Amino acid sequence: MLNVDLHCHSNISDGTLTPTALAARAKKNGVDVWAMTDHDEVSGIAEARIAAAALDMNYVPGVEISITWAGQTVHIVGLQIDEKNQALVDGLTATRGGREERAREMAAQLEAVGIHDAFQGALKFVGNPDLISRTHFARYIMELGMCKDLNEVFSKYLGDDKPGFVPHRWATLQNSVEWITGAGGIAVIAHPGRYKFSDLAFDALFNEFKEFGGAGIEVTTGSHSVDQYDYYAKVAKTYGFLASRGSDFHGPGESRVDLGGLPPLPSGLKPVWHDWDI
């Protein structure tokens, strides 16, 4: 069976490895079909494509777009996108826009709870100045020795409504799906098990996503528990979604699941790659 991993991050967003190092790790771990999906950024794709080709690994251009839906942040993955598509590029540029200001506000709020110089501290971990993320702050707080892992940093400081959290308005669901499909890509709801919606809200999210042209949902992801693989397999069948699989790897020692390390999709699903030339 093909080892397909369609979700991970390089240091072009909040991963720790370069696109080239990520490609090498995917290959070493036995990945046959690989997508790198940096947050709100496509500028790493050219390097990833070259690295994958040199390793004779099937490469899928991807992105993970941050959106705000019903007051929460949701992530929409785009696969098989044309990363040069102008509407996509412009949309992502706009989406990235407020990150530096947000980061400065986060640093001020963290200062108030005794975490000093967090803006400069987070910057040390940033590979791309256009993309300062909560993950970079989390790495700085880890470096200070204040928490045992990233999860604890988010539950104490950076998660929604915690002291360092600054609400942000990302793209809309409709925009994200239209940027992706307009660039010839397939839109996929990332790690649905992470969102805190009621059943009613989830139903509305899935229906709206479909109406706008969304096609897939992540079933097997590093962000889901084993129970959630089965639960979202049922959701995929109920809504007629294609099923995706992706580790959401961010870096060695940080991510629970390594590149290529997930179990296969549950049976009876139509994989998002079902009609790809692979």
For position 75 contacting Mn ion by CB under 5 A, the verdict is yes
Q: What's the residue count for the chain?
A: 278
Is residue 228 within 8 A of residue 217, CB to CB? The reply is no
Nearest approach in angstroms of CB 9 to ligand AMP is 7
Sign of CA dihedral 43, 45, 46, 52: positive
Number of residues that bind Mn ion (CB under 5 A): 5
The residue (of 10 and 135) whose beta carbon lies closer to ligand AMP is 135
Q: Based on CB atoms, which residue is closest to Mn ion, 175 or 223?
A: 223
Give the binding range for Mn ion (CB under 5 A) out of 25-33, 60-68, 117-125, 213-221.
60-68
What is the spatial order of strands in the sheet that 58-69 belongs to?
A: 4-5, 33-36, 58-69, 72-79, 186-189, 216-221, 242-246
| DSSP-assigned letter for residue 248 | -
The option from ligand AMP, Mn ion, none interacting with 83 (CB < 5 to 8 A, set by class) reads: none
Residues found near ligand AMP in the complex (CB under 6 A)? 14, 39, 66, 133-135, 150-151, 154, 250
In the three-class reduction of DSSP (H, G, I as helix; E, B as strand; rest coil), residue 199 is classed as helix
Q: Which does 224 bind (CB under 5 to 8 A by kind): ligand AMP, Mn ion, none?
A: none
Distance of CA 259 to the CA centre of its chain: 14
Residue 150, binding choice from ligand AMP, Mn ion, none, Cβ under 5 to 8 Å by partner class = ligand AMP
Would you tell me which residues interact with Mn ion (CB under 5 A)?
Answer: 14, 64, 75, 190, 248
